Amino acid sequence: MKQLITFIKNKSHGLKASSLINAVFICVIISVFSGCLVLLSHYQNMLNNQLYMQENLINRNIASFNYLINNLESIDYNKVEKIDVFDDNLFSYLEKKNWGFYDIIVSKTIFKNDTISKTAMVGKVNVKADNLALYVTDYDKPLKLSGSTKILGDIKVPNGRTEQAYINGNKGNKIKLRGKASKSNDRLPKINKDIRIDFSDYEPIPFNSLDKETIVINGFDKTTKLIDLNEINTLSNIVLKGNIVLTSNNELQIEKTAKLNDVLVIAPKVKILSGFKGNIQVIAKKTVEVDEDVLLKYPSSIYVKNDNDSVSVVINKDSKILGGIVIDGDTHSGALKRILEIKETAIVVGSIYCYGKTQFEGRLIGSVFTDRFNLKTKSSNYENVILNASINRDSLPKNFIELPLFKNDIDNKKYAIVKEF
């Protein structure tokens, strides 16, 4: 009997010890679980606060960007302006850079280690209706149309009217005009844009220091890369994108194997070889030739300004330029040495401005301003004659941002985004 009682007591003590261990184990599990819930709630609050701050920074940066684009005329180039849009001591930093015919604007909002930025290329858009397709300086020489010529849009021409001419023995013409005709002035409207790029603050990068078949991408919120091409004559087998300027003091050829996007090309003479596709702004002093079957994507442009030398820009067959072409000078006497040729089946979408002579046989969707037209055939030269050309202002998309050329009553403008980066 004593042995039975002793066994029961021992068994009872064993059960109590086991229950205590189980209770402690359960308490530990509950404590860990509760701690995890508290920690999870803490991190959830941190994440919510971070997301809220991120959204606040994004909204603030958008507001700063909108302020910048709406007050662009009052912002100086290449200077960072600090603003507090909501007056709560959280600042945004705004910058405007000149990039060919367009402007680059950058808005950055910074809080602690977070930075939100927005970068875009902007241009000017008409806020007034403008349907002008053709402007030819009036120097008492009538504008004559020949062959299958079509002009859709308003025109300003010598004496406010056009005549017909029969070239190469043509017995009949198919002339189509749609729009108002009025008299032009004895001078072209002066453009309000002079493309000047200051390189004094940039350290040139020799092209030969770059690896062959390399890729260089440089954002517009960073310092401009200036690549010196003086040691080469032909640019090929390279990918360049963004805030990059290519410069040379010699004639430069660009092959189709060069992949260029958003870059500036500056040289006295530039030739773009057949098959090239890219987005560039060319700034030259003497000549620009675009071979056959070249595509310059929007927003591309060609700009030549010179009073001392003969100037020529040639757009060959089956090539397309989406943006515009400008040939300019400061003297009227120099206009006779400036020539623009757009060959048949070539297409330009945007604006053409030639303070000189234009031989136009292709197709334009947009508007053209020229001092005079010139037609050269195998047998003769004709002054102020257009043969088998198409100028169609009506087909230019309403939201198309043209080259910002003029500042007058017919071209009252505001800024809009060309593309975002």
Q: What pLDDT, on a 0 to 100 scale, did the predictor assign at position 213?
A: 65
179 and 32 inside one domain: no
Q: Are 104 and 118 in contact (CB under 8 A)?
A: no
For residue 52, give the H/E element and its range. helix 2-70
> What is the rounded average pLDDT of the residues 194-201?
75
Contacts of 199 (CB under 8 A, 6+ apart): 226, 245, 247
Q: What is the pTM of this model?
A: 0.85
Mean pLDDT of the chain: 87
45 and 121 inside one domain: yes
Q: What pLDDT, on a 0 to 100 scale, did the predictor assign at position 214?
A: 73
pLDDT tens-digit readout, 76-96: 888 899 988 888 888 899 999
118 and 144 inside one domain: no
3-class secondary structure, 123: strand
Establish if 416 belongs to a structural domain. Answer: no
* Residue range(s) defining the domain that contains residue 80: 2-125
Q: What pLDDT, on a 0 to 100 scale, did the predictor assign at position 113?
A: 80
Question: In whole angstroms, what is the distance from residue 323 CA to residue 318 CA?
Answer: 16
Distances (CA, A) of 278 to 91, 300, 420: 37, 8, 17
Residue 1 has pLDDT above 70, yes or no: no
More confident site: 85 or 204: 204
pLDDT tens-digit readout, 271-306: 999 999 999 999 999 999 999 999 999 999 999 998
Q: Are 289 and 409 in contact (CB under 8 A)?
A: no
Q: What pLDDT, on a 0 to 100 scale, did the predictor assign at position 367?
A: 95
| The residue type at 382 | Y
Q: What pLDDT, on a 0 to 100 scale, did the predictor assign at position 8?
A: 44
**Tokens representing 420?**
């975002």
Q: What pLDDT, on a 0 to 100 scale, did the predictor assign at position 210?
A: 83
Angle at 270 between CA 358 and CA 352, to 5 degrees: 30
16 and 162 inside one domain: no
Establish if 413 belongs to a structural domain. Answer: no
Question: In whole angstroms, what is the distance from residue 417 CA to residue 379 CA?
Answer: 48
Q: What pLDDT, on a 0 to 100 scale, did the predictor assign at position 45?
A: 67
Give the residue among 124, 118, 78 at the shortest CA–CA distance from 101. 124
pLDDT tens-digit readout, 339-394: 999 999 999 999 999 999 999 999 999 999 999 999 988 878 889 999 999 999 99
Last residue of a domain, one of 125, 150, 173: 125
272 and 315 inside one domain: yes
| The residue type at 60 | R
End-to-end CA distance of the chain: 94
* Number of domains forming the structure of the chain: 2
Last residue of a domain, one of 82, 104, 125: 125
More confident site: 406 or 92: 92
> What is the rounded average pLDDT of the residues 160-179?
85
